[in-house]
């Protein structure tokens, strides 16, 4: 199941024998990768070397009588015990494992146990999913694929934030131009894109209205502040002009309707309050608007191969059910000494509680943890209180081994506050099983994003642009326009998924097309191209399944390197699942693709003499199988032709 683990077993057995010979315990010495020119696996023995000056001699004596199967006898160099593989035996082990296990190669012998609930994407239903949401969605979906591959039971959830003023801005605008919105949708426009314009215009006009009132007060009192506010309003007017370029009729009609409302902000607050109270007319309006956006979300996510087991409405789970007030009461009762009240405003001293209980390491909290405001002055709850109620609901309903919430790193403090509040409520175990899977932003050079201004790079537009670029690169290879369309879409999706997975989640991404669509290394298209190349070799050879082969007496360094990388795949996948790091898999599959292309450029396969032909075809088939397994984990479409 895991060829690399067989090497580790041999190393451990040898080191154990060395320990017995020296009468010391070596069971905890680390096993690491050797420097390339010294072998493959290394064991540092510097402390032992200082005590036993003849260590080199002892190592040689043990090696002479040790039964190595997949390793050559070790060499002791400068305090390191270095092992390299025995190429023929290990190649046979690796290739046999891949060919016998097929689509299961890479899975752990013992499947992961428990239920993993992954909440991801969870974008506000106000506008199209943008590039930042794309990283969230692709990370969450890939984590689910990775854990499922390793045998875990996984559920994926989208937490739909349908409460709050932002949703009310979109709902208000929608109510004023409803007929035009549906007209656009009937004409083929995506509903989330249309609602995105409505939301941005409503927010912008509301802010202009608010600044205009402020200017009246500043007119004769503060010239400097007056000029500052004028500049701010001018920027908003410019944003409206940009929005007008997207849909002039819709934007001008909505502006006219909004100007009839004396105080847009107050009207929005009213909608928010009525919706949380369950007013049927307002509820119908808000749900109608949100369902249009969800339809657009689903279309975008389906293109990227992403689906959900559940769409969780915040209002239903936390407000209408009374769950948020139930949770608030429990927190007050259990952590009363840490509760402060100012009128109807309730505050939890998360900072003081974490310090008193010494929770910093136990809950992996940031050292600076602000206190938490739980209610507004009118007694209504805030987003973080509802978020806490949602976490409680997830644990009560599903009791997951881990509740993994894929949320931007900028939300570090609120997510830490939620873990602290769970602990304070007596849910100690839940607090430790709630994982904030943080990720950094994605940046495109020269682009600043703002949903409230309608300035963002929509994920749909990004896929379309990738598809257009791919189509221009490969159009001469396809005579059938439909096949060209299908392949270009698959390559575009693979390129975007790979690029958003290739960097550690805790590092920002700079999105550049020359890297995203690089056909020579480290990209989705490069992996797809390598797979198609391997498949083509096998088809030309008339081999889809190698029934028998033998390993030649000598192997080239490129062949050995490729065998090593293939043998490491189960170890890499299991480490990625353990650490929740899909980028481990991305980095490794790029190594395999690079090694395979180097191998193929140097060695004949189809026209090689036996036993090289059979062995190399088996190696190519192993590469094809491994790439297919890994691409399925990463959500990169597998192509027959490219």
* pLDDT the model gives residue 451: 53
Residues 280, 175 contacting (CB under 8 angstroms): no
Residue matched to tokens 């989640």? 505
Helix (H/G/I), strand (E/B), else coil: 474 = helix
36 pLDDT band (50/70/90 cuts)? confident
For the chain, report the end-to-end CA distance as a whole number of angstroms. Answer: 31
Q: What's the token pair of residue 364?
A: 């992996």
51 pLDDT band (50/70/90 cuts)? confident
Q: What's the token pair of residue 603?
A: 């060695």
Q: What's the token pair of residue 497?
A: 């998924």
Residues 627, 537 contacting (CB under 8 angstroms): no
Residues 527, 627 contacting (CB under 8 angstroms): yes
Q: What's the token pair of residue 294?
A: 């969800």
Residue pLDDT, tens place only, 447-496:
665 555 667 789 999 999 999 999 999 999 999 999 999 999 999 999 99
Average pLDDT (328-353) is 96
Cα angle at 350 between 348 and 353, to 5 degrees? Answer: 110
Q: What's the token pair of residue 139?
A: 């990370």
227 pLDDT band (50/70/90 cuts)? confident
Element holding 5 (H helix, E strand) = helix 3-22
CA 49 from chain centre, in angstroms, equals 45
Alpha helix positions (H), 160-279: 165-176, 178-186, 191-218, 223-246, 248-258, 264-277
Q: What are phi and psi of 591, to 5 degrees?
A: -60, -45
Among candidate residues 209, 212, 7, the one with its CA nearest the CA of residue 94: 7
Q: What are phi and psi of 145, to 5 degrees?
A: -60, -45
What is the rounded distance in angstroms from the CA atom of residue 634 to the CA atom of residue 583? 9
Q: What average pLDDT is seen over the chain?
A: 95
Residue pLDDT, tens place only, 238-295:
999 999 999 999 999 999 999 999 999 999 999 999 999 999 999 999 999 999 999 9
CA 191 from chain centre, in angstroms, equals 25
CATH tag, 459-634: 1.10.730.10
Q: What are phi and psi of 279, to 5 degrees?
A: -55, 125
Residues belonging to the chain:
642
Q: Report how far apart, in Å, the C-alpha atoms of 548 and of each of 156, 232, 621 are.
A: 42, 74, 12
Which of 565-578 are b and which e, b meaning 16 or more Cβ less than 10 Å from the residue's Cβ? bbbbbbbbbbebbe
Among candidate residues 341, 363, 342, the one with its CA nearest the CA of residue 353: 363
Q: What are phi and psi of 75, to 5 degrees?
A: -120, 140
For the whole model, what pTM was predicted?
0.95
* pLDDT the model gives residue 106: 97
* pLDDT the model gives residue 450: 58
CATH tag, 3-85: 3.30.1360.70
279: left (phi over 0), alpha (psi -120 to 50) or beta: beta
Element holding 157 (H helix, E strand) = strand 153-160
Average pLDDT (409-431) is 98
How many H-runs (helices) and E-runs (strands) does the chain carry? 25, 14
* pLDDT the model gives residue 1: 87
**What contacts 525, CB < 8 A, 6 or more positions away?**
470, 491, 494, 495, 517, 518, 519, 642
Residue pLDDT, tens place only, 148-186:
999 999 999 999 999 999 999 999 999 999 999 999 999
Residue pLDDT, tens place only, 599-608:
999 999 999 9
What is the rounded distance in angstroms from the CA atom of residue 305 to the CA atom of residue 297? 12
Residue 537 has pLDDT above 80, yes or no: yes
CA 175 from chain centre, in angstroms, equals 35
Which of 272-309 are b and which e, b meaning 16 or more Cβ less than 10 Å from the residue's Cβ? bebbbeeeeebbebbbebbebbbebbbebbebbbbebe
Q: For the chain, what is the radius of gyration of the CA atoms? A: 30
Domain ranges of the chain: 3-85, 166-304, 459-634
Percent of the chain with pLDDT over 70: 98
* pLDDT the model gives residue 318: 97
Beta-strand relationship, 442-443 and 509-510: parallel
Q: Burial, 331: exposed, middle or buried (Cβ in 10 Å; 0-12, 13-18, 19+)?
A: buried
* pLDDT the model gives residue 217: 80
Between 448 and 499, name the one with better pLDDT.
Answer: 499
Helix (H/G/I), strand (E/B), else coil: 377 = coil
Residue 29 has pLDDT above 90, yes or no: yes
Average pLDDT (357-363) is 96
Task: Transcribe 204-217 into DSSP letters.
Answer: HHHHHHHHHHHHHH
Helix (H/G/I), strand (E/B), else coil: 383 = helix
Q: Report how far apart, in Å, the C-alpha atoms of 68 and of each of 1, 5, 65, 90, 425 are.
A: 19, 14, 9, 11, 56
* pLDDT the model gives residue 4: 97
């Amino acid at each position: 199941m895991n060829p690399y683990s067989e090497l580790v077993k041999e190393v451990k057995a040898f080191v154990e024998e060395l320990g017995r010979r020296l009468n010391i315990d070596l069971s905890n010495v680390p096993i690491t990768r050797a420097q390339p020119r010294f072998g493959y696996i290394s064991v540092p023995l510097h402390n032992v070397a200082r005590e036993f000056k003849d260590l080199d001699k002892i190592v040689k004596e043990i090696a002479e009588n040790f039964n190595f199967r997949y390793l050559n006898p070790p060499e002791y160099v400068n305090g390191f015990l270095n092992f390299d593989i025995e190429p023929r035996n290990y190649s046979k082990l690796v290739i046999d494992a891949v060919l016998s296990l097929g689509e299961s190669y890479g899975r752990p012998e013992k499947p992961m146990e428990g239920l993993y609930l992954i909440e991801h994407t969870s974008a506000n239903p106000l506008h199209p999913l943008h590039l930042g949401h794309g990283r969230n969605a692709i990370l969450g979906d890939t984590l689910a694929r990775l854990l499922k591959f390793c045998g875990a039971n996984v559920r994926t959830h989208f937490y739909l934030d349908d409460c709050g003023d932002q949703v009310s801005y979109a709902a208000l605008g929608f109510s004023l131009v409803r007929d035009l919105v549906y007209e656009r949708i009937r004409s083929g426009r995506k509903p989330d894109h249309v609602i995105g314009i409505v939301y941005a215009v409503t927010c912008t006009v509301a802010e202009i209205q608010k600044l205009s009132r402020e200017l009246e007060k500043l007119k004769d009192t503060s010239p400097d502040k007056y000029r500052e506010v004028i500049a701010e309003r001018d920027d908003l007017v410019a944003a409206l002009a940009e929005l007008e370029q997207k849909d002039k009729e819709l934007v001008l009609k909505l502006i006219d309707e909004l100007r009839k409302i004396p105080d847009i902000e107050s009207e929005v607050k009213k909608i928010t309050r009525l919706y949380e109270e369950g007013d049927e007319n307002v509820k119908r309006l808000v749900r109608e608007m949100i369902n249009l956006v969800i339809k657009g979300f689903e279309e975008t996510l389906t293109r990227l191969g992403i689906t959900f087991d559940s769409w969780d409405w915040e209002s239903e789970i936390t407000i209408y059910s009374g769950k948020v007030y139930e949770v608030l009461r429990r927190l007050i009762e259990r952590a009363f000494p840490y509760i402060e009240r100012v009128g109807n405003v309730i505050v939890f001293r998360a900072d003081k509680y974490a310090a008193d209980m010494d929770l910093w390491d136990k809950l992996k909290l940031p050292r600076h943890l602000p206190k938490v405001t739980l209610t507004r002055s009118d007694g209504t709850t805030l987003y973080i209180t509802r978020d806490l109620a949602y976490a409680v609901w997830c644990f009560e309903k599903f009791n997951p081994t881990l509740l993994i919430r894929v949320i931007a790193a900028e939300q570090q403090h609120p997510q830490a506050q939620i873990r602290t509040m769970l602990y304070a409520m007596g849910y100690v175990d839940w607090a430790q099983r709630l994982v904030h899977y943080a990720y950094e932003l994605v940046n495109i050079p020269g682009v600043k994003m703002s949903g409230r201004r309608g300035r963002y790079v929509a994920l749909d537009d990004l896929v379309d642009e990738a598809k257009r670029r791919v189509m221009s690169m490969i159009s001469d290879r396809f005579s059938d326009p439909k096949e060209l369309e299908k392949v270009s879409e698959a390559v575009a999706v693979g390129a975007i998924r790979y690029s958003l997975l290739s960097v550690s989640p805790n590092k920002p991404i700079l999105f550049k097309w020359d890297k995203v669509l690089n056909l020579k290394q480290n990209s989705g298209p490069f992996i797809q191209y390598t797979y198609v190349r391997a498949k083509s070799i096998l088809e030309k050879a008339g081999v889809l399944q190698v029934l028998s082969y033998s390993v030649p007496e000598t192997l080239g360094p490129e062949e050995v390197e490729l065998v090593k990388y293939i043998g490491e795949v189960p170890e890499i996948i299991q480490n990625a699942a353990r650490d929740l790091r899909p980028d481990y898999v991305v980095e490794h599959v790029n190594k395999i693709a690079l090694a395979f292309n180097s191998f193929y450029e140097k060695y004949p396969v189809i026209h090689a003499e036996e036993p090289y032909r059979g062995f190399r075809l088996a190696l190519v088939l192993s590469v094809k199988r491994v790439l297919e397994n890994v691409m399925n984990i990463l959500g990169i479409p597998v192509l027959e032709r490219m």
